[in-house]
Amino acid sequence: MACVNANGDKMPPFVIFKGKDLWDNWIPKSGDWPNKSYAASANGWMTSELFLNWFTKSFVPHVKGETPCLLIFDGHGSHVTVHLIKAAQMNGITIIKLLAHTSHILQPLNVACFRGLKAKWDQKLTVWQRLHVGSRPGKAEFAKLLGNVWADLTASNMISGFRGTGIYDGTIVGDLKVNRFAVSQKV
C-alpha cells in the first residue's frame, strides 16, 4: 500500500505478503526502504484488521502534529470500519473514501504516479532476472526491489497527482487550493 501527500512527501510502503504468519526471513536484512511496514494475510490482500493496524501504528504517528489532516483512500471494503472511524476521530484525522470506480480520475497516485512506478518496477525486475536466470525473487528480494522502486517516486510526481485530480493545487493563489475544473465535467 502506498501513501503520499500533496506536498510531495511519501510514507514508507506497507507490504502485505500471502501467508498465515509473517516470517522474519521475508523481510530484507539490508537495502530495504527505511521504516517499511510488513504484514501477512491468507490471500495477500488488505483486510480491515491490517488497514486499522497500519492506520494506528504507521499513519497516525507519521502525521502526528500535522493538522488539519485528511486521508483520502479508495473505496475498498477493508478500509472503512467503525474502529477506523473512531481512531481517526480520536486523532483529529478526517477520512474521505472515494466513490467506487473513480480512482483512475480522483486518486492522485493513480493519476500521476503508478504508471511510472510500474515501468521502473519492470526495469528493475528485468535487471534482477538477468542476474538470476531461471529464478523468481523470494519475498525478501521482492520487498527490497519494491523499496528501490519506491525510492524513485519523485515529489513532482506526487504534487502533479494532487493537481491533476483537483484535490489540491498549490499553484492556485488564495486559501482554497481545490480546483473543481481539473476533472472534466463529462466524466
Q: Could you tell me which residues come within 8 angstroms of residue 76 by beta carbon, excluding any fewer than 6 positions away? A: 46
pLDDT of residue 94: 93
Does residue 180 carry a pLDDT above 70? Answer: no
Work out the mean pLDDT of the chain and round it to a whole number.
89
CA-CA distance, 69 to 175, in Å (whole number)?
A: 16
Q: How many C-beta neighbours within 10 Å does residue 172 have?
A: 12
Does residue 186 carry a pLDDT above 70? Answer: no
Does residue 183 carry a pLDDT above 70? Answer: no
Q: What is the pLDDT of residues 116-164, one digit of tens each?
A: 999 999 999 999 999 999 999 999 999 999 999 999 999 999 999 999 8
Residue with cell 521502473: 120
For 95-98, the CB contacts below 8 A with 24+ separation are: 95/70, 95/71, 96/70, 96/71, 96/72, 97/73, 98/72, 98/73, 98/74
Does residue 92 carry a pLDDT above 90? Answer: yes
Residue 72 — φ and ψ, nearest 5°? -110, 130
Q: Is the model more confident about 179 or about 52?
A: 52
Q: How many C-beta neighbours within 10 Å does residue 95 have?
A: 17
